[in-house]
Amino acid sequence: MKLIHPQETVRIIQENEFHFQKRFGQNFLIDENILKKIIDCSHITNEDFVLEIGPGIGTLTESLCNAASFVSCVEIDSKLIPILQNTLKDYSNVEIIQHDFLKLNIREFINNRSSGRPVKVVANLPYYITTPIIMSLLESKVKLTSVTIMVQQEVAQRICALPGSKDYGSLSLFIQYYTSPKIIASVPPTCFIPRPAVSSSILYLDFLTNPPVDVKNPDKLFSIIRASFSQRRKTLANALSANLRIPKNDILTTLQGLSLQKEIRGEDLSLYEFAVISDRLPDF
Protein backbone atom coordinates (compact mmCIF):
# COMPACT_ATOMS: atom_id res chain seq x y z
CA MET A 1 0.00 0.00 0.00
CA LYS A 2 1.33 3.45 -0.88
CA LEU A 3 -0.38 5.69 1.63
CA ILE A 4 1.69 8.67 0.52
CA HIS A 5 -0.33 8.88 -2.72
CA PRO A 6 -3.01 11.53 -2.16
CA GLN A 7 -5.78 9.37 -3.68
CA GLU A 8 -4.88 6.50 -1.31
CA THR A 9 -4.93 8.81 1.74
CA VAL A 10 -8.31 10.22 0.64
CA ARG A 11 -9.67 6.70 0.06
CA ILE A 12 -8.67 5.54 3.54
CA ILE A 13 -10.09 8.64 5.17
CA GLN A 14 -13.41 8.28 3.34
CA GLU A 15 -13.74 4.51 3.77
CA ASN A 16 -13.19 4.86 7.51
CA GLU A 17 -15.34 7.99 7.79
CA PHE A 18 -12.43 9.65 9.53
CA HIS A 19 -12.79 13.32 10.47
CA PHE A 20 -9.66 15.45 10.92
CA GLN A 21 -9.24 16.83 14.41
CA LYS A 22 -7.77 20.30 14.38
CA ARG A 23 -7.00 20.04 18.11
CA PHE A 24 -4.59 17.16 17.35
CA GLY A 25 -2.77 19.08 14.58
CA GLN A 26 -3.73 16.51 11.95
CA ASN A 27 -2.11 17.37 8.61
CA PHE A 28 -1.24 14.16 6.80
CA LEU A 29 1.75 14.03 4.46
CA ILE A 30 0.96 13.30 0.79
CA ASP A 31 4.24 14.14 -0.97
CA GLU A 32 6.50 11.25 -1.92
CA ASN A 33 9.62 13.40 -2.40
CA ILE A 34 9.33 14.80 1.10
CA LEU A 35 8.76 11.33 2.51
CA LYS A 36 11.94 10.15 0.75
CA LYS A 37 13.89 13.08 2.17
CA ILE A 38 12.74 12.28 5.72
CA ILE A 39 13.71 8.63 5.36
CA ASP A 40 17.04 9.39 3.63
CA CYS A 41 18.24 12.00 6.12
CA SER A 42 17.28 9.91 9.16
CA HIS A 43 19.76 7.18 8.05
CA ILE A 44 17.68 4.37 9.52
CA THR A 45 19.20 0.91 9.34
CA ASN A 46 17.81 -2.53 10.12
CA GLU A 47 19.55 -2.36 13.50
CA ASP A 48 17.61 0.69 14.71
CA PHE A 49 14.74 1.05 17.13
CA VAL A 50 12.51 3.86 15.84
CA LEU A 51 9.99 5.82 17.86
CA GLU A 52 7.38 7.60 15.77
CA ILE A 53 5.21 10.23 17.41
CA GLY A 54 1.79 10.75 15.79
CA PRO A 55 1.67 8.17 12.96
CA GLY A 56 -1.70 9.41 11.57
CA ILE A 57 -2.83 6.73 9.10
CA GLY A 58 0.68 5.24 8.94
CA THR A 59 2.17 7.02 5.93
CA LEU A 60 5.64 7.52 7.40
CA THR A 61 5.33 4.38 9.49
CA GLU A 62 5.21 2.14 6.40
CA SER A 63 8.59 3.42 5.20
CA LEU A 64 10.03 3.29 8.71
CA CYS A 65 8.99 -0.37 9.06
CA ASN A 66 10.72 -1.18 5.77
CA ALA A 67 13.97 0.39 7.01
CA ALA A 68 14.16 -0.28 10.76
CA SER A 69 14.51 -3.24 13.07
CA PHE A 70 11.45 -2.19 15.07
CA VAL A 71 9.05 0.76 15.12
CA SER A 72 6.93 1.89 18.07
CA CYS A 73 4.37 4.47 17.14
CA VAL A 74 2.39 6.50 19.65
CA GLU A 75 -0.88 8.05 18.47
CA ILE A 76 -3.25 10.08 20.66
CA ASP A 77 -6.37 9.76 18.49
CA SER A 78 -8.24 6.52 19.26
CA LYS A 79 -10.11 6.80 15.91
CA LEU A 80 -6.81 6.25 14.09
CA ILE A 81 -5.91 3.02 15.89
CA PRO A 82 -8.14 0.61 13.88
CA ILE A 83 -7.04 2.37 10.69
CA LEU A 84 -3.36 1.89 11.61
CA GLN A 85 -3.98 -1.75 12.56
CA ASN A 86 -5.24 -2.25 9.03
CA THR A 87 -2.75 -0.14 7.04
CA LEU A 88 0.20 -1.71 8.91
CA LYS A 89 -1.14 -5.28 9.10
CA ASP A 90 1.58 -6.67 6.83
CA TYR A 91 4.37 -5.58 9.19
CA SER A 92 5.46 -7.70 12.14
CA ASN A 93 8.04 -5.18 13.38
CA VAL A 94 5.63 -2.48 14.50
CA GLU A 95 3.77 -1.71 17.69
CA ILE A 96 0.84 0.74 17.72
CA ILE A 97 0.17 2.48 21.00
CA GLN A 98 -2.69 4.80 21.79
CA HIS A 99 -1.40 7.43 24.20
CA ASP A 100 -0.71 11.11 24.61
CA PHE A 101 3.03 11.21 24.00
CA LEU A 102 3.46 14.05 26.47
CA LYS A 103 2.02 11.89 29.25
CA LEU A 104 4.40 8.98 28.69
CA ASN A 105 7.37 8.24 30.87
CA ILE A 106 9.66 8.57 27.85
CA ARG A 107 12.72 7.14 29.53
CA GLU A 108 10.95 4.00 30.71
CA PHE A 109 9.06 3.63 27.41
CA ILE A 110 12.18 3.70 25.25
CA ASN A 111 14.48 1.77 27.58
CA ASN A 112 11.93 -1.04 27.90
CA ARG A 113 11.82 -1.47 24.15
CA SER A 114 15.13 -0.52 22.57
CA SER A 115 17.09 -3.62 23.80
CA GLY A 116 20.38 -1.81 23.29
CA ARG A 117 19.62 -0.86 19.68
CA PRO A 118 20.37 2.70 18.49
CA VAL A 119 17.26 4.83 19.10
CA LYS A 120 16.04 7.22 16.41
CA VAL A 121 12.94 9.38 16.66
CA VAL A 122 11.02 10.34 13.53
CA ALA A 123 7.84 12.42 13.46
CA ASN A 124 5.67 14.75 11.49
CA LEU A 125 4.80 16.70 14.59
CA PRO A 126 1.56 18.39 15.51
CA TYR A 127 2.62 22.05 15.52
CA TYR A 128 0.85 22.97 18.74
CA ILE A 129 3.12 20.73 20.84
CA THR A 130 6.39 20.78 18.89
CA THR A 131 8.46 22.51 21.56
CA PRO A 132 7.15 20.48 24.54
CA ILE A 133 7.81 17.26 22.60
CA ILE A 134 11.39 18.21 21.73
CA MET A 135 12.06 19.45 25.26
CA SER A 136 10.60 16.31 26.85
CA LEU A 137 12.83 14.14 24.64
CA LEU A 138 15.91 16.15 25.65
CA GLU A 139 14.98 16.27 29.32
CA SER A 140 14.27 12.52 29.45
CA LYS A 141 18.07 12.06 29.15
CA VAL A 142 17.49 8.94 27.05
CA LYS A 143 20.40 8.13 24.80
CA LEU A 144 19.13 9.07 21.33
CA THR A 145 21.06 8.91 18.06
CA SER A 146 18.94 11.35 16.11
CA VAL A 147 15.57 13.04 15.86
CA THR A 148 14.12 13.79 12.42
CA ILE A 149 11.02 15.93 12.60
CA MET A 150 8.70 17.98 10.48
CA VAL A 151 8.14 21.28 12.26
CA GLN A 152 6.82 24.72 11.49
CA GLN A 153 9.47 26.55 9.40
CA GLU A 154 9.72 29.35 11.94
CA VAL A 155 10.48 26.88 14.76
CA ALA A 156 13.19 25.18 12.66
CA GLN A 157 14.81 28.59 12.08
CA ARG A 158 14.70 29.38 15.80
CA ILE A 159 16.30 26.06 16.66
CA CYS A 160 19.18 26.53 14.19
CA ALA A 161 19.69 30.26 14.87
CA LEU A 162 23.09 31.68 15.83
CA PRO A 163 23.94 34.62 18.15
CA GLY A 164 22.94 38.03 16.88
CA SER A 165 19.99 36.83 14.79
CA LYS A 166 16.42 37.75 15.70
CA ASP A 167 15.48 34.05 15.89
CA TYR A 168 18.19 33.21 18.44
CA GLY A 169 16.90 32.36 21.90
CA SER A 170 16.77 29.84 24.70
CA LEU A 171 15.31 27.15 22.39
CA SER A 172 18.33 27.49 20.05
CA LEU A 173 20.74 27.19 22.97
CA PHE A 174 19.03 24.23 24.70
CA ILE A 175 18.89 22.24 21.51
CA GLN A 176 22.42 23.18 20.42
CA TYR A 177 23.72 22.01 23.81
CA TYR A 178 22.53 18.46 23.09
CA THR A 179 22.47 18.25 19.30
CA SER A 180 23.76 19.59 16.03
CA PRO A 181 20.57 20.79 14.27
CA LYS A 182 20.20 21.07 10.50
CA ILE A 183 17.32 22.14 8.24
CA ILE A 184 17.06 19.52 5.49
CA ALA A 185 14.28 20.94 3.33
CA SER A 186 11.46 23.38 3.37
CA VAL A 187 7.99 21.91 2.87
CA PRO A 188 5.06 23.92 1.46
CA PRO A 189 1.46 23.52 2.73
CA THR A 190 0.51 21.71 -0.54
CA CYS A 191 2.36 18.62 0.73
CA PHE A 192 -0.36 17.90 3.31
CA ILE A 193 -4.06 17.04 3.60
CA PRO A 194 -5.58 19.27 4.92
CA ARG A 195 -3.17 22.10 4.11
CA PRO A 196 -1.73 23.84 7.17
CA ALA A 197 -1.71 27.64 7.33
CA VAL A 198 2.10 27.79 7.54
CA SER A 199 5.17 26.37 5.79
CA SER A 200 7.12 23.54 7.39
CA SER A 201 10.69 22.28 7.46
CA ILE A 202 12.32 18.91 7.90
CA LEU A 203 14.68 19.31 10.81
CA TYR A 204 17.42 16.82 11.63
CA LEU A 205 18.90 16.78 15.15
CA ASP A 206 22.12 14.83 15.34
CA PHE A 207 22.74 13.98 19.02
CA LEU A 208 26.20 14.86 20.28
CA THR A 209 28.18 12.31 22.27
CA ASN A 210 29.49 15.13 24.47
CA PRO A 211 28.09 18.64 24.90
CA PRO A 212 29.91 21.22 22.77
CA VAL A 213 30.93 23.20 25.89
CA ASP A 214 32.23 22.15 29.29
CA VAL A 215 30.15 23.54 32.10
CA LYS A 216 30.23 22.64 35.79
CA ASN A 217 26.46 22.76 36.34
CA PRO A 218 24.23 22.40 33.24
CA ASP A 219 21.06 23.15 35.26
CA LYS A 220 22.57 26.47 36.38
CA LEU A 221 23.54 27.22 32.76
CA PHE A 222 19.96 26.56 31.60
CA SER A 223 18.50 28.77 34.35
CA ILE A 224 20.82 31.59 33.26
CA ILE A 225 19.88 31.12 29.60
CA ARG A 226 16.16 31.09 30.41
CA ALA A 227 16.45 34.20 32.58
CA SER A 228 18.51 36.05 29.93
CA PHE A 229 15.81 35.67 27.29
CA SER A 230 12.77 36.12 29.53
CA GLN A 231 12.75 39.84 28.68
CA ARG A 232 14.66 40.19 25.43
CA ARG A 233 15.15 43.95 25.61
CA LYS A 234 16.84 43.86 29.02
CA THR A 235 20.61 43.76 29.30
CA LEU A 236 22.05 40.48 30.60
CA ALA A 237 22.99 42.14 33.89
CA ASN A 238 19.46 43.48 34.44
CA ALA A 239 17.75 40.25 33.36
CA LEU A 240 19.88 38.04 35.62
CA SER A 241 19.74 40.31 38.64
CA ALA A 242 15.94 40.70 38.30
CA ASN A 243 15.11 37.05 37.56
CA LEU A 244 17.75 35.13 39.52
CA ARG A 245 18.58 37.69 42.22
CA ILE A 246 22.28 37.54 41.40
CA PRO A 247 23.98 40.74 42.69
CA LYS A 248 24.42 43.05 39.71
CA ASN A 249 28.02 43.79 40.68
CA ASP A 250 28.93 40.09 40.41
CA ILE A 251 27.47 40.00 36.92
CA LEU A 252 29.27 43.16 35.80
CA THR A 253 32.60 41.90 37.19
CA THR A 254 32.13 38.59 35.35
CA LEU A 255 31.36 40.40 32.09
CA GLN A 256 34.39 42.63 32.53
CA GLY A 257 36.59 39.58 33.17
CA LEU A 258 35.47 38.22 29.80
CA SER A 259 36.00 41.58 28.04
CA LEU A 260 32.26 41.80 27.34
CA GLN A 261 30.39 45.11 27.41
CA LYS A 262 28.21 45.73 30.44
CA GLU A 263 25.18 46.47 28.18
CA ILE A 264 25.44 43.12 26.41
CA ARG A 265 22.20 41.16 25.93
CA GLY A 266 21.61 37.40 25.92
CA GLU A 267 20.95 37.42 22.17
CA ASP A 268 24.60 38.41 21.55
CA LEU A 269 26.20 35.63 23.61
CA SER A 270 27.34 32.28 22.26
CA LEU A 271 26.74 29.01 24.09
CA TYR A 272 30.42 29.02 25.03
CA GLU A 273 30.16 32.51 26.57
CA PHE A 274 27.04 31.49 28.51
CA ALA A 275 28.93 28.45 29.84
CA VAL A 276 31.87 30.55 31.06
CA ILE A 277 29.50 33.08 32.66
CA SER A 278 27.64 30.23 34.38
CA ASP A 279 30.87 28.82 35.81
CA ARG A 280 32.07 32.21 37.05
CA LEU A 281 28.86 33.55 38.61
CA PRO A 282 28.06 32.65 42.21
CA ASP A 283 25.44 29.94 42.74
CA PHE A 284 21.90 31.14 43.36
Q: Which residues bind ligand SAM (CB under 6 A)?
A: 24-29, 53-56, 59-60, 74-77, 80, 100-102, 124, 126, 129
- By C-alpha distance, which of 111, 133, 119 is closest to 54? 133
Torsion of CA 88, 93, 99, 100, to 10 degrees: -100
Residues whose CB falls within 8 Å of the CB of residue 77, separated by 6 or more in sequence, listed in order: 21, 24, 26, 98
Q: Which is nearer to ligand SAM, 127 or 284 (CB)?
A: 127
Q: Which is nearer to ligand SAM, 102 or 258 (CB)?
A: 102
Rounded to the nearest whole angstrom, what is the least distance from the CB of residue 130 to ligand SAM in the complex?
A: 10
Q: Residue 146: which region, alpha, beta or left (left: phi > 0; alpha: psi -120 to 50)?
A: beta
**Residue type for 203, please?**
L
Q: Which is nearer to ligand SAM, 73 or 281 (CB)?
A: 73
* Distance from C-alpha of 216 to C-alpha of 12, rounded to nearest angstrom: 53
Q: Which is nearer to ligand SAM, 124 or 146 (CB)?
A: 124
Closest residue (Cβ) to ligand SAM? Answer: 54
Rounded to the nearest whole angstrom, what is the least distance from the CB of residue 167 to ligand SAM in the complex?
A: 22
- By C-alpha distance, which of 250, 242, 244, 238 is closest to 224? 244
